[in-house]
């Protein structure tokens, strides 16, 4: 199986475009390919497939083999892959994902994609649809008890569930301690991605992320979108915000006219390889 190692701000993927449908035992393949020691090493395995609803279809599998509905950093890599490999010559394309059909705007230099703007769609805010076990129109600055301590969180789905917690200082957060406990908290029936956020200004935050099914990653595109929405809902940030992640920056805009969330960021291709597993 040929694959291309790609990343969006260090959130890295093995991208495979040779299948016409999802192969058998894909979860096992994802776990094996993503293993950092016994495999190629990646946060996820991404398949680029044909679609009858969009120009292409993306299926993504986390390092633990689970299949999320959405992945912002991966869809930017898909946009880069299909243009750079001549599968399209258009710089405006559509990609079918588990969160719906997403529109991508590709920025190119010397015939290669450097940055991508993705219409990540409408955020889902109803508690039971995120999903959480909270039956409310929105879950904003809600209490959450973990190990006897009370946290405040805002829940947002971008197709995949996110729990956003604003803190005074990220230096005080034990992400590897508290992250998995919130990820698997009973409040979140399909688990959750966990984003801790420090606000620097109305249009600038720093975010650290513990991803569902992966663990800490250097960046999370859908998570940054959820942070952009949660910041507005909690009255902490404006509708356009630069999100600093360990792997770099994303620009997020929650458009006040169409209510959709737009994410702009880079996509990088590292190497091509053959999987012998």
Ligand X SMILES: N[C@H](CCC[C@H](N)C(=O)O)C(=O)O
- For residue 157, state whether it binds ligand X (rule: CB under 6 A): no
13 vs 166 by CB, closer to ligand X: 13
Considering only residues 210 through 249, tell me which ones interact with ligand X, judged by CB under 6 A: 211-214, 217, 220-223
220 is catalytic: yes
Q: Which residues contact 260 (CB under 8 A, 6 or more apart)?
A: 119, 120, 121, 122, 254
Cα 86 to Cα 80: distance, rounded to the nearest angstrom:
10
Binding ligand X (rule: CB under 6 A), the pick from 97, 102, 154, 160 is 160
**119 and 100 Cβ atoms separated by less than 8 Å:** no
Three-state secondary structure call for residue 129 = helix
- For residue 132, state whether it binds ligand X (rule: CB under 6 A): no
Please give the C-alpha separations between residue 59 and each of 12, 14, 203, 209, 231, in angstroms, as whole numbers: 15, 12, 32, 22, 29
178 vs 207 by CB, closer to ligand X: 207
202 vs 215 by CB, closer to ligand X: 215
Place of tokens 């398949």: 47
Q: Which residues are annotated as a binding site?
A: 11, 62, 72-73, 160, 193, 211-212, 221-222
Cα 18 to chain centroid distance, Å, stands at 23
In the complex, least distance from residue 211 CB atom to ligand X, rounded to whole angstroms? 4
Considering only residues 167 through 196, tell me which ones interact with ligand X, judged by CB under 6 A: 193
* Cβ neighbours of 247 (radius 10 Å): 19
In the complex, least distance from residue 137 CB atom to ligand X, rounded to whole angstroms? 23
Q: How many residues does the chain have?
A: 277
71 is catalytic: yes
**224 and 16 Cβ atoms separated by less than 8 Å:** no
DSSP states along 31-94 = HHHH-TTTS---SEEEEEE--SSSSEEEEEEETTS---S--HHHHHHHHHHHHHTTS---SEEE
- For residue 117, state whether it binds ligand X (rule: CB under 6 A): no
Considering only residues 27 through 86, tell me which ones interact with ligand X, judged by CB under 6 A: 62, 68, 71-73
Give the number of residues in contact with ligand X, rule: CB under 6 A. 17
Considering only residues 2 through 21, tell me which ones interact with ligand X, judged by CB under 6 A: 11
130 vs 199 by CB, closer to ligand X: 130
Just list the catalytic residues: 71, 220
Q: Which residues bind ligand X (CB under 6 A)?
A: 11, 62, 68, 71-73, 160, 193, 211-214, 217, 220-223
């Amino acid at each position: 199986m040929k694959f291309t190692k790609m990343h969006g701000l260090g959130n890295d993927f093995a991208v495979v475009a040779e299948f016409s449908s999802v192969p058998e035992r894909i979860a096992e393949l994802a776990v094996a390919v993503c293993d950092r020691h016994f495999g190629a090493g990646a946060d996820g395995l991404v398949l680029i497939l044909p679609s009858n609803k969009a120009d292409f279809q993306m299926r993504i599998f986390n390092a633990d083999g689970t299949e999320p509905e959405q992945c912002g950093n991966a869809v930017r890599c898909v946009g880069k892959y299909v243009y750079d490999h001549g599968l399209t010559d258009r710089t405006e394309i559509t990609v079918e994902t588990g969160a719906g059909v997403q529109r991508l705007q590709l920025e190119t230099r010397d015939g290669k994609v450097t940055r991508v703007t993705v219409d990540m769609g409408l955020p889902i805010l109803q508690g039971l649809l995120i999903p959480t076990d909270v039956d409310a129109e929105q879950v904003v600055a809600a209490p959450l008890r973990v190990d006897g301590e009370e946290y405040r969180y805002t829940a947002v789905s971008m197709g995949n569930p996110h729990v956003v917690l604003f803190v005074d200082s990220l230096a005080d957060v034990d992400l590897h301690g508290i992250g998995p406990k919130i990820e698997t908290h009973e409040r979140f029936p399909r688990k959750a991605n966990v984003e801790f956020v420090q606000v620097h200004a109305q249009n600038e935050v720093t975010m650290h992320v513990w991803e569902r099914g992966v663990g800490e990653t250097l960046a999370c595109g859908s998570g940054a979108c959820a942070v952009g929405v949660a910041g507005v809902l909690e009255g902490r940030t404006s509708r356009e915000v630069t999100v600093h992640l360990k792997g770099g920056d994303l620009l997020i805009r929650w458009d006040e006219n169409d209510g959709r969330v737009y994410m702009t960021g880079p996509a990088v291709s590292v190497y091509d390889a053959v999987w012998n597993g």
